Amino acid sequence: MSVVSFGEVLWDMLPAGKKAGGAPMNVAFHLRNFGFKTQLISRIGQDAPGQELRSFLETKGIDHRLVQEDPSHPTSTVQVTLDENGHASYEIVQPVAWDFITASAAAEQAVAGAKALVFGSLAARQESTRSTLLHLLEHAQLAVFDVNLRPPHYTTQRLQDLLARAHLVKMNEEELAIIATWYTDSPSEAEQMRAVLAAHRLQGLLVTKGSEGAAWMSPGGTYLQQPVFPVQVADTVGSGDAFLAGFLSQYLHKKAVPDCLKFAAAAGALVATHEGGTPNLTSGDILQFIAR
């Protein structure tokens, strides 16, 4: 079973050193560890950091044939700052190579043949990559939108365009609070989720809530809560990406949604116990953690 991820691949410059990152890449990385074939559509510079990233993808078994090389823009780096609780904030440089991902017949074919296309809002900040993404979404069997609001890299209109093309959406509680105001005045989480889901006819909406766990809502109104797994946090980099990969790994195998949520929450929690967003964790590691 294959999944394609579209968007940013970069170096997270952490206090402890650099780690390969970017939400779409992180999701592909974890899905690969969970037994999926994963392919990344992105763009790097013709520079040493770009070649290091390609080597990383090769080593981790992520298909990088659709990672383009840009002759004039650098490979992306992000300065990551951690607070006393390990929560991350990001300084994202622009423009960089992944702002200029171009369309190709090979990318279109890969998306059409995959079970899902995972994408985020950050890569849509520039017109070139945004138009490529909108084209590829026309060919996706399951469009999985990982909302990733990083001011000032988004607009309301761009987000609504992406929501309108998505089937399954994941966002965090702060993002829900922003997006829900477009559709409802209700302060209720459930009502906010219901309004967003109805406005865009989604198959499902996931909301991650940090120490409060996560929530799910389906078109039929089923509203589920998943408590957090308590862990000692090293940092939160990539925890949400692992959550999404964990959920998708079960959802695409048609597991019951409560089981998908539990696996997702465990994956996110385990990643938070490591530095950076790409520790090597298998499905077995996640199941063992759940059963402890």
Whether 188 is in a domain gets the answer: yes
Contact yes or no for 245/30 (Cβ under 8 A): yes
Contact yes or no for 204/168 (Cβ under 8 A): yes
Whether 13 is in a domain gets the answer: no
Contact yes or no for 8/93 (Cβ under 8 A): no
Whether 264 is in a domain gets the answer: yes
Q: CA-CA distance, 36 to 174, in Å (whole number)?
A: 30
Query: Nearest Cα to 42, choosing from 76, 12, 7, 77?
Result: 7
Contact yes or no for 75/53 (Cβ under 8 A): yes
For residue 174, give its domain range: 21-39+99-291
Whether 84 is in a domain gets the answer: no
Report how far apart, in Å, the C-alpha atoms of 138 and of each of 99, 117, 131, 152, 241 are: 20, 11, 11, 27, 24
Whether 78 is in a domain gets the answer: no
Query: Nearest Cα to 50, choosing from 8, 17, 107, 94?
Result: 8
Q: CA-CA distance, 260 to 133, in Å (whole number)?
A: 27
pLDDT tens across the length of the chain (292 residues): 999 999 999 998 888 788 899 999 999 999 999 999 999 999 999 999 999 999 999 999 999 999 999 999 999 998 888 787 777 777 888 899 999 999 999 999 999 999 999 999 999 999 999 999 999 999 999 999 999 898 888 999 999 999 999 999 999 999 999 999 999 999 999 999 999 999 999 999 999 998 899 999 999 889 999 999 999 988 877 899 999 999 999 999 999 999 999 999 999 999 999 987 788 999 999 999 999 8
Report how far apart, in Å, the C-alpha atoms of 62 and of each of 56, 112, 139, 291 are: 9, 18, 21, 29
Residue 101's pLDDT is 98
Please state, as a whole number, how many other Cβ atoms lie within 10 Å of the Cβ of residue 46.
14
Q: CA-CA distance, 248 to 152, in Å (whole number)?
A: 29
Whether 58 is in a domain gets the answer: no
Please state, as a whole number, how many other Cβ atoms lie within 10 Å of the Cβ of residue 255.
15
Would you give the DSSP letter of residue 75? P
Q: Classify residue 221 as exposed, middle or buried by CB count within 10 Å of its CB (0-12, 13-18, 19+).
A: exposed
CATH of the domain at 119: 3.40.1190.20
Question: Which residues does 70 contact at the CB level (< 8 Å), separation at least 6?
Answer: 43, 44, 45, 46, 97, 100
12 pairs with which residues across the strands? 19, 78
Whether 65 is in a domain gets the answer: no
Nearest-5° Cα angle at 112, 150 to 158:
25
Total domains in the chain come to 1
Whether 1 is in a domain gets the answer: no
Q: CA-CA distance, 8 to 125, in Å (whole number)?
A: 11
Alpha helix positions (H), 114-255: 127-137, 156-165, 173-180, 189-200, 239-251
Query: Nearest Cα to 111, choosing from 251, 2, 20, 219?
Result: 2
Would you give the DSSP letter of residue 211? G
